[in-house]
Amino acid sequence: MARLFLLRHAKSSWDGSGVPDFDRPLNIRGRASAPLMGRHMVDHALVPEKILCSSARRTRETLAGLLPHFPGDMSIDVMRSIYTASEGTYVPILRKHGGTARSLLLVGHNPSIQDTALAVIGHGNPEFIEQIREKFPTAGLAVIDLPTDDWADLKPGSGRIIAFFRPRELELVGEAGPGDGDD
């Protein structure tokens, strides 16, 4: 059994005119919601063994907000291919780079994060599936269990959605944070 964590980067800034998309940083809300999600993951034993992260600045900054909360060592691959896979799903990247990790976090971008979640999920809580279908917000996290021990064998529709966390909900239950993370 493998567990997949799909995390959309935290809220990024659109303030810098002329800043290439690849180089956009997180805004104030994003810099707060990334550590919020990292703390939540650790508090609920949702710590990955391996991380695949887009090489775009906003995803690297999101990852930097998570890492101080994660205990121990883990394998981290920062990959340009996650940034450039702007259409379709991340399934081929997961198959190629997941290896035998029991738990894998992919930090990426929409619409690919949302499309990947919907492609991989075959069953589970219908409310989570509908929420993901409607919107996968910035710093949103989908937790999906898969019936495989090798990511090369990942099959679309084989996953079971376990949880779907949004920063706004974490703030409502008492964890500090400055915004709703829905953009």
d(CA 24, CA 38): 21
Sorted by where each begins, the domain ranges of the chain are: 2-172
pTM: 0.92
CATH of domain 2-172: 3.40.50.1240
At 126, which helix (H) or strand (E)?
helix 126-134
Nearest to 162 by CA among 42, 9, 3: 3
**Residue 180, token pair as written in the block:** 């709703």
- Whether 166 has a pLDDT exceeding 50, the answer reads yes
In tens, the pLDDT along 106-129 reads 999 999 999 999 999 999 999 999
